[in-house]
């Protein structure tokens, strides 16, 4: 019996194979399309590097799917997983009616609520019938399709948890508001992010199977090809159809691909060498190698065993976001017995060399004279290439110790009694973000808690139905006093910004090394507290954002491995850069709790706007206080005088002037003087400030 067909919608924009460059990202997306159990793809890179373009182009070349006619969850019997309704319909050996549907792309809006993602109570059906029914959400719509999440690092953490749980299990289970539902949710998850706007938590990062780091193209000829591709005819129907057939055959071959034991052993050794946490990296490497073997068959088109070259080509995609060290072990052909290929055919059938890993992009901006901030340049809109090696450090740089043990962060015991073991406090959300925890009555209802509303109205139904006019067919009689507003809570965390004086002084290197160690110690505790840490250094004639807000130890270690030390002291530049960074974070999340930690000797000597440097620094400090940013000033000058704490702030003994103490007063913050700058010396005042609720 022939199935009814649905015409495939044409893809607008460059076809998948027509996008210039970006070979690693194309490979990762194709592997996830062949075997969705790999766990999705995370694409990290600067703006305008074809991340969205390729995600949409992939959906356009995926094979169509067979779905049950009329199913709200788009069940696919071929996947062996049906919803409860389809299971009841198929009882007694009855055949479910099927139709051919295109595989499309479902995009998750950045401001989506949990109700929209997982589904919720069908409000209209409940009010009309008085019965409870589940209203499917994005996870039901994405079943069998591509789920695309742009700026995944800006989503609330609990939403990312929900997405990754569904991607791993293939089902969405909902228990909320009197609704109990479960349905299949098999999808190809693609997440994109710009690391400059913040990192994912390490435990969420690990849940993505593959990861690609991308930057914009630097070759003028390739950039010309980008413009020709964008301005010329869009797409290639023949190329798309050829790739669609290739993916269909690869999925068919996948169960037939053998995995030699030596290959599995090589994957395990690579994971151990890179010191990855857990076993997900091993599994992903093996699955990806098998998918690559299915995508690139033998000469006769039959399935071939996965080989060492397959493993080598996918290893970087599986390890780049999980490794803790840059290991040196590389498997040999002898260890990967059975792999005889010198090169494997690419998606278009032509041989491709084994490609190496992506380079790292160093994020950050500067604040120099005459300006308050600078933004990174824009990249080409539609494509990107592989990053090159990291540039050599400048001559004035000091390479800090690469591997050292940062001491544990000793928080006061009182801190552990605060509510919750994660972020420091919970706040009521007014923007429909966060978890639904209770309900209340209020004059204007903007976020209806239907379960609480029905409970409030239930005792009055007999009386109201008796008084209702004839012909009123409503199953539930609601009145204004029954309506209940949802009370949502979301956890809020601290943003700890270290503003470090990197100018030339006798303790500059010690100051930077101790600060780096303190940052890593804080980040190693971030798994529990989920705070984020940033670092700005100022020296010469500018301030530089060395580490943007992150909770990733790996990113911090890479960004802080080499820090420039020396030059003059542009203190005002640093204060302005810190204020700009914190205000930008507040615009993203108005509930963030910032803590600014200034580590300096206070001897600013470079002007930002042409005024006397100290006066400019004092004015910048006053702006920070008006912004209600809690601050800690750590004075590293070794000639500081005793400080007397008074109601008006710290006062210096004698006639000498201490700029750090004066700035702490103008900042409305706390002042600490350190003769020897050490990791624990920095962590103690920070821990005290966090305990008091920065």
Would you name the residues annotated as active-site residues? 280
CB 376 within 8 A of CB 655: no
CB 535 within 8 A of CB 547: yes
DSSP state of 600: E
Number of H helices, E strands in the chain: 22, 27
Torsion angles phi and psi, residue 325, rounded to 5: -140, 160
Q: Is 435 helix (H, G, I), strand (E, B) or coil?
A: strand
Spell out the residues 6+ positions from residue 690 whose beta carbon is closer than 8 angstroms to its own: 411, 415, 424, 494, 496, 595
Length of the chain in terms of residues written: 694
Cα gap 292→27, rounded to integer Å: 9
Cα gap 136→121, rounded to integer Å: 9
**Which has the closest alpha carbon to 141: 86, 175, 114, 103?**
103
CB 514 within 8 A of CB 679: yes
Cα gap 327→269, rounded to integer Å: 11
CA dihedral angle for residue 169, residue 175, residue 176, residue 182, rounded to 10 degrees: 60
CB 117 within 8 A of CB 127: no
Six-digit token string for 219:
């070759």
Estimate the crossing angle of helix 51-61 against helix 237-253, to 10 degrees: 70
> What is the sign of the dihedral through the CA atoms of 649, 650, 655 and 657?
negative
492 Ramachandran zone, left/alpha/beta (phi>0; psi -120 to 50): beta
DSSP state of 21: B
């Amino acid at each position: 019996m022939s199935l009814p067909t649905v015409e495939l919608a044409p893809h607008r924009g460059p076809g998948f194979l027509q996008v210039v460059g970006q070979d690693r990202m194309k490979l990762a997306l194709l592997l996830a399309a062949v075997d969705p159990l790999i766990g999705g793809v995370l694409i990290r890179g600067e703006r305008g590097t074809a991340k969205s373009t390729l995600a949409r182009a992939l959906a356009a070349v995926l094979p169509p799917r067979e779905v049950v006619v009329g199913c709200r969850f788009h069940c696919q019997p071929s996947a062996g997983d049906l919803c409860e309704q389809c299971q009841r319909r198929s009882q007694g050996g009855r055949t479910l009616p099927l139709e051919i549907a295109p595989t499309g792309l479902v995009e998750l809006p950045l401001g989506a609520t949990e109700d929209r993602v997982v589904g919720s109570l069908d409000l209209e059906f409940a009010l009309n019938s008085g019965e409870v029914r589940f209203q499917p959400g994005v996870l039901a719509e994405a079943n069998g399709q591509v789920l695309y999440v742009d700026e995944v690092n800006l989503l609330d953490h609990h939403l990312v948890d929900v997405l990754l749980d569904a991607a791993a299990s293939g089902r969405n289970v909902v228990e909320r508001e009197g609704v109990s539902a479960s349905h299949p949710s098999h999808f190809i998850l693609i997440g994109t992010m710009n690391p400059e706007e913040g990192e994912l938590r390490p435990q969420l990062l690990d849940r993505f199977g593959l990861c690609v780091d991308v930057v914009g193209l630097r070759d003028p000829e390739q950039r010309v090809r980008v413009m020709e591709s964008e301005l010329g005819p869009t797409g290639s129907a023949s190329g798309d159809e050829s790739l669609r057939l290739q993916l269909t055959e690869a999925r068919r071959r996948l169960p037939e691909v053998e995995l030699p034991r030596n290959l599995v052993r090589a994957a395990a050794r690579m994971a151990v060498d890179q010191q990855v946490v857990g076993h997900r990296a091993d599994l992903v490497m093996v699955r990806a190698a098998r998918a690559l073997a299915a995508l690139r068959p033998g000469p006769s088109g039959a399935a071939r065993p996965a080989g060492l070259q397959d493993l080598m080509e996918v290893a970087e995609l599986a390890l780049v976001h999980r490794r803790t060290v840059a290991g040196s072990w590389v498997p040999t052909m002898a260890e990967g017995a059975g792999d005889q290929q010198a090169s494997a055919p690419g998606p278009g059938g032509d041989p491709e060399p084994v490609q190496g890993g992506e380079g790292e992009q160093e994020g950050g901006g500067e604040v120099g004279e005459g300006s308050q901030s600078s933004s990174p340049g824009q990249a080409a809109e539609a494509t990107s290439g592989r990053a090159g090696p990291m540039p050599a450090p400048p001559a004035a740089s000091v390479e800090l110790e690469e591997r050292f043990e940062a001491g544990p962060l000793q928080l006061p015991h009182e801190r552990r009694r605060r509510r919750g073991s994660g972020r420091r406090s919970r706040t009521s959300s007014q923007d429909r973000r966060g978890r639904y925890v209770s309900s209340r009555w209020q004059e204007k209802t903007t976020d209806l808690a239907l379960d609480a509303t029905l409970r409030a109205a239930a005792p009055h139904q007999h009386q109201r139905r008796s008084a209702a006019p004839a012909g009123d067919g409503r199953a539930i009689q609601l009145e204004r006093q029954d309506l209940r507003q949802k009370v949502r809570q979301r956890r809020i965390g601290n943003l700890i910004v270290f503003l470090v004086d990197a100018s030339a002084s006798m303790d500059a290197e010690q100051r930077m090394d101790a600060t780096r160690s303190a940052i890593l110690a804080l980040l190693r505790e971030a798994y529990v507290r989920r705070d984020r840490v940033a670092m700005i250094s100022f020296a010469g004639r500018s301030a530089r954002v060395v580490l943007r807000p992150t909770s990733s130890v790996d990113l911090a270690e890479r960004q802080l491995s080499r820090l420039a030390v020396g030059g003059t002291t542009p203190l005002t530049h640093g204060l302005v850069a810190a204020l700009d960074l914190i205000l930008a974070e507040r615009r993203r999340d108005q509930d963030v709790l910032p803590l600014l930690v200034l580590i300096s000797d206070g001897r600013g000597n470079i002007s930002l706007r042409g005024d006397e440097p100290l006066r400019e620094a004092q004015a910048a400090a006053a702006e920070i206080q008006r912004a209600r940013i809690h601050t800690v000033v750590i004075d590293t000058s070794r000639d500081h005088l005793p400080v007397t704490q008074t109601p008006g702030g710290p006062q210096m003994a004698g006639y000498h002037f201490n700029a750090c103490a004066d700035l702490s007063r103008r900042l409305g913050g706390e002042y600490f003087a350190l003769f020897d700058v050490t990791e624990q010396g920095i962590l103690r005042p920070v821990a005290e400030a966090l305990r008091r609720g920065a």
